[in-house]
Amino acid sequence: LCSIFRSKYFFCCDFFFNDTATTEIYTLSLHDALPIWEDWGAVEINLDGTATVFSAGVSHGHSHETTFPQLVSAILKLPMERISFIQGDTDSIPRSGGTMGSRSLQIAGSAILGAGEKVLHKARTVFAFHVEAAIDDVVQFEDGRIGVAGVPTSAMTLAEIAAVASEPSNLP
């Protein structure tokens, strides 16, 4: 399948540690973060309207294969059976902080959530450009279709938007 939209999202937490013994505050930021606080995720929309979720972390009983697609299902309003999940594939996933403890959903899940939100925004943007509507007027309907607010007959599925986006002249 040809992927039309692919959003990658890098997530890094900013943690503030308060050492009560010395009352100094330590900041762990993007520049000096330990790899454990970083992760990467991606979401693709394919020409047939299915989605593929990529995670750097590998499930060891953490239920990634369920929870990560559930995040994308909730954002894109796609049924779970229309979402495939790829984990730990070093050909398609550039980096990870690893899978350990309870960090997977908080860190890798946040990366996948961010990627899903970016894909939804891209779909709205392509739709708006295609129908010459203002992006602020473009919404996602309860059934997952993207359309002009108040005009449900204008709505298109993700598969239809992917087909539009497959032609470069249809891109903003």
Per-residue confidence (pLDDT) for residue 102, from 0 to 100 = 65
User: Nearest CA to 17 among 6, 28, 7?
Assistant: 28
pLDDT digits (tens, 9 = 90+) for 3-21: 344 444 444 433 333 333 3
Per-residue confidence (pLDDT) for residue 125, from 0 to 100 = 93
The mean pLDDT value for 127-133 works out to 96
pLDDT digits (tens, 9 = 90+) for 36-72: 556 777 888 888 889 988 887 776 666 667 888 999 9
Distance of alpha carbon 126 from alpha carbon 12, whole angstroms: 28
Q: Phi and psi for 8 in degrees, rounded to 5?
A: -105, 145
Q: Provide DSSP, 15-78.
A: EEEEETTTTEEEEE-TTT--GGGEEEEEEEEETTS-EEEEESS--SSS-HHHHHHHHHHHHHT-
Whether the model clears a pTM of 0.85, i.e. scores above it, the answer is: no
Predicted confidence band at 100 (pLDDT cuts at 50, 70, 90)?
low
Residue % of the chain over a pLDDT of 70: 67
Half-sphere exposure of 8 (CA within 13 A, CB side): 9
Which range among 18-32, 70-84, 141-155 shows the weakest confidence by mean pLDDT? Answer: 18-32
Q: CA triplet 98, 84, 82: central angle to 5 degrees?
A: 145
